Structure 1
Amino acid sequence: MRKWLIVLVSTVLSLSLSFPAVANEKEGPRPEQTLYKADVHIDPKKKQVEGSVEIQFWPKDASHAYVHVYPLAFTKEHKGELWDELLGKEVELGTYDENRILVQGKPVAVKRTGNVIEVPLSEEQSRPIVLSMDFTMTLPQNEGRMSYDEHAIWLGNWLPILAVKDQRGWHLDPYEPIGDPFFSENADYQVNVTLPDGYQLASTATDQAAIVDHSTPGQREFQLDAINVRDFALVIMDSTYHFKETKVGNTEVRTWYRNGDSEEQASRNHTAAVEALQYFNSQFETYPYTEYDVVRVGGSINGMEYPSIVFLDGRHYLPNGDNAFVTVVHETAHQWFYSLIGNNQVDEAWLDEGFAEYATLAFLAAKYPKVGADRVLRRLKQGTITPYYVQEHLRPGQTLHAFPDNESYSDLVYSRTSSMLWMLREAWGEERLHEVLRHYVSTNRFGIANAASWKATLSEAAGEDAGAFLSYWINLDMSKQEEAAIWLEKLRQNQKNHGHPMEKEKAEK
């Protein structure tokens, strides 16, 4: 423990000195890439979504596939403090009816368990399966990721999406009130959205490139394409919405706000998105998508990330919006740690939330030193003082339902993981750590990373096994504390004596 205290004190003393004073087009489809084709009509007045989705995929199991239909979670009442924190206390349930489920054009009998539908398969695996479904949805009203208010409809995790099957089997986790209870693989999306005149949208697609069909009086059809993305989110907005726009490299950054919002705060949020995208481009890898939307929604979700789009609730558009700037930076960091490099957000939430929080700290340290210093110290305090969590057998590397409250989730998943990365930064230096993170992102780009992926990257960069270090930090294994401290000190001395950077990977893109 003593060595960690020495490192922490050293970090505190050095903060004021160490902080400075101041896509290409989306990549084309891969062989055997899953394709989602959706055609939906949205009625903003009735708060209804009606349409169909067709999923073309190569099955990983000859007998069946599973589909997550997350809107089903909001067709029944949830009780408890955690659900109240997520959805609010004044909740109106939605409805969801799926019908005419076909496989290769033939009706099949499906089994529903919670928000998961089991679909029987019978075709050979030598060719892709086409699964289609019609659905009608009345939106719930709540404070969460999928709801509405008088000016907007925001649709997060709304389209049916294939469950992941890997070496551990099928991942069929239920909707949880803590964290982001999702796990998905990259796919291509072709989504046609029909809206009444007078409405506009922002989505995971490059909306400015959408083909818009005005042929039917009183309505418009948007043809949206998104290539190689992890999910597809969508916000429908009325005419009270406007946006600020700046190009960063090949990416158009758009920040959406409403009449009545603070214009000054909207500008600050836009600055945060632009500066963060620029910084993360320079540090971790160039953002591959050509549009990034920061969209003001209702509710109290704080911030919520999706590929190429993030939701930001209205509190962040009030004058001097509470923590708005930092929230935008954090959600932008998720465009790398969640979107570009995926992970199981249910079982290993630390891999996206903790890494995104470290990236946020690094940005603030470089661009806004005072704000950065305060936030780093707070995360270090929360992430290194852990006797209670050891006693309660809580740790960052556990599944979402094992966290008893949002405070423990924040302390362990956000603070302890970002503290671990900050300790590596103290030992290696910013340049070296970010080189290792670039290698990690590049190696797992558009794929799924896990704890073993990070351990392999870290062990390779250090030149020896990082197992004890990660067991102490991520599993809170106190028996590994001294070994982890020795490992980190050796890292520091090797960097001081040699300072050889990791050779940049020369993999063909």
Structure 2
Amino acid sequence: MKSFVKQTAKWVTASTFVGGILFSPGLTISAAETDSPVKGAYNPAVTSPVQLKTPFQSQFMNKHGQDIFGPANPDYKMNVNYDSTNHTIQGEMTVTFKNNTRTQLNELYFNLWGNAETFKENGGSMSVSNVKVNGKTAKYTVDSTAMHISSVQIPDNQKSTVSMDFVVHVPEQQDRFGWNKNTVSLGNWFPILAVYDKEGWNVDAYFPYGESFYSLTGDFDVTLTTDKAQVIATTGTEVGQPGISGNLATHHYKAKQVRDFAIEMDTTYKVKQTKVNNVNINVYYTDEQAKYADSMVEAGVESIKLYSDRFGEYPWPELDIVGMEGWFGGMEYPQLTMISIAGNPSQEWVKYVTAHEIGHQWFYGIIGNNENDEPWLDESFASFAAALYSKELDQLKAEPVGDYHLSYPVSTFAERAAEGGIGAYYGMIYGYGSRTVNDLRLELGDEVFYKAMKDYFNEKKFGVSTTKDFIQIMEKSTGRDLTNFFASHRVFVSDQE
């Protein structure tokens, strides 16, 4: 089979944003304002453009109408050790999956996000060894964040297992992946199976702002050994009690039907716990963050109740809300949200950030999407959810930015950085995008809109959605032709207008 590999990034403006950063409601953005980050949101300084290494060249432009998402049902088993002195991870991993691509697979790809240039600048890296496919040594190459396994033969509809050892050097930086003082943030920290869809293999480069992540739901069984003093939050739930050996503790975690597995650790964390809708909510915070703990608890409880009622039930038994010191608003992972508390933010800001990141449990976690190609499907919807939580829907007044449209891939904003890049991205995806979702609510009325959103949830739960899917489900649920509505709001089912 011909190798179909998609990659879109060439240039990107490195900035102090990540995908979870928030766009405040009540903001009108014009084209003249797109040379800087959004007013009213958390606005750290923007640095000069940097070039990201391009692993592979795109062969396709159409990003929509995808009906193949594989390999299916990845089942990860990991045994990892975190050395808190040297900030390194040594791990062993196997992942079993089914080839559902309707063709024989002669190659596989994994994303190694720890090799992104922004992490390497601060001592980060990821390497692999002892790679095997179905027990046989496999040929592989690593080019920046893309790992290519060649010369395999996996028939359609057959299961296969890949095993490997890996070593990760965690960078010293305040980030979704990094360590800072006592806090260790492990987002996108292990080799993760890339997605094969109608375009082929997706191995987009890492973006310092927005997200380049795209993965399918699967199961995780993770054994973690580290200092026994660490207080640990993770995706999934802990199984049994940790095993203690000297100064080390070994923890065992399991997670079902999640797209990723994140870990947050700090020896000084304290924990507040509560329960709502049969979901255990755990809030982790340091002494410096203690005054915000109740706000995170409150936002967690109310968001779970509200979003479950309006969109569909939260499906997992646990949610961890983790305070951290970072330069970004927050970041989402399955069953875990990172809330950046830097400086002296208001209680309302922390609640809003928490509500936004919890919104991603629905829009990214439950209903998946290609965050690189169609970022509006998670960020615009999470921003709408946060405005719903804060009762600020009537303040979503952002205007479109320049000639961008919502269904552009994130790389389009990056490649046109001189024309607004970061400001345009946040103005369109967070601001104008959330307004578009709200305008659809106003167009349909609450009863019809929220019923349609539940239909969307039920049809795409634990799967992958595209812009085309969303429009089709809205039209089917409402019995209306919404072509003109979406066109007038700059939502298209192709990257080209």
TM-score bracket for the superposition, by shorter chain length: 0.7 to 0.9
Q: Is the 8 A contact 2:122 2:172 kept in 1?
A: yes
1:186-225 → structure 2 map (5 Å cutoff): 186-207=217-238, 210-214=239-243, 216-225=245-254
Shift, 1:248, TM fit: 0.7
Deviation track 1:208-253 (CA, whole Å, cap 9, x = no partner) reads: xx22342533211111100111111111221x11111110111011
The answer to whether 1:276 aligns with 2:303 is yes
Q: 1:52 to 1:301 in 2, by over 3 A?
A: farther
Identify which of 275, 291, 294 aligns with 2:321. 294
Structure with more of its chain in strand, by fraction: 2
Q: Which has the higher helix share?
A: 1
String of CA shifts for 1:275-297, please: whole Å, max 9, x gaps. Answer: 11111111111111111011112
User: Aligned in 2, Cα 1:113/1:38: closer, same or farther, shift over 3 Å?
Assistant: same
Aligned ranges 1:40-119 → 2 under 5 Å:
40-59=80-99, 60=101, 61-74=104-117, 92-119=122-149
For residue 363 of structure 2, what is the aligned residue in structure 1? 337
Counterpart CA distance in 1 for 2:310 and 2:242 is 40
Aligned to 1:230: 259
Aligned length: 415
Q: Secondary structure at the match of 1:441?
A: helix
Q: Secondary structure at the match of 1:323?
A: helix
Q: Cα RMSD between the aligned structures?
A: 2.2
Report what 2:160 is aligned to.
Answer: 129
- Counterpart of 2:405, as a letter, is R
Contact 2:78–2:92, Cα closer than 8 Å, also in 1: yes
The answer to whether the 8 A contact 2:74-2:218 is kept is yes
Q: Compute the displacement of 1:195 (Å).
A: 1.2
Structure with bigger gyration radius: 1
- Contact 1:148–1:298 (Cα < 8 Å) also in 2: no
Counterpart in the other structure of 1:425: 441
Structure with more contact order per residue of length (Cα contacts < 8 Å, sep ≥ 6) = 2
The answer as to 2:429 corresponding to 1:413 is yes
Q: Does the CA contact (< 8 Å) of 2:96 and 2:160 recur in 1?
A: yes
Output aligned runs, 1:140-155, within 5 Å.
140-155=171-186
Asked if 1:447 is matched to 2:463, the reply is yes
Conserved in 2, the CA contact under 8 Å of 1:66 and 1:118?
yes
Contact kept in structure 2, 1:55 and 1:131, CA below 8 Å: yes
Distance in 2, matches of 1:249 and 1:288, equals 10
Once the 2 structures are TM-superposed, how far is the Cα of residue 476 of structure 1 from its aligned partner? 7.9
Give yes or no for contact 2:96–2:162 (8 Å, CA) kept in 1.
yes
Calculate the TM-score normalised by the size of structure 2. Answer: 0.79
- CA distance, structure 1, for counterparts of residue 293 and residue 222 of structure 2: 29
What residue number does 1:351 align with?
A: 377
Distance 1:75 1:425, change over 3 A: closer
Among residues 186, 205, 215, which one is paired with 1:184 in the alignment? 215
State the Cα distance separating 1:322 from its structure 2 match. Answer: 7.4
AA of the residue aligned to 1:169: G
The change in CA–CA distance for 1:396 and 1:123 in structure 2 (over 3 A counts) is closer
**In the alignment, what sits opposite 2:65?**
none
Aligned-partner Cα distance in 1 for 2:249–2:117 = 29
Q: Distance in 2 between matches of 1:407 and 1:135?
A: 37
* Structure 1: stretches of 5+ with no match in the other structure: 1-7, 9-30, 78-90, 366-371, 482-509
Aligned: 1:36 with 2:76: yes
Paired AA for residue 201 in structure 2:
W
Letter in 2 for 1:250: N
TM-score scaled by length of structure 1: 0.77
Shift of 1:54: 0.7
1:125: Cα distance to partner? Answer: 3.9
**How far, CA to CA, are the matches of 1:96 and 1:244 in structure 2?**
34
Give the aligned partner of residue 259 of structure 1.
Answer: 287
- Please give the per-residue CA displacement for 1:447-500, whole angstroms capped at 9, x wherever unaligned: 0011111111121234233223222213489xxx9xxxxxxxxxxxxxxxxxxx
CA distance in 2, matches of 1:230, 1:183: 8
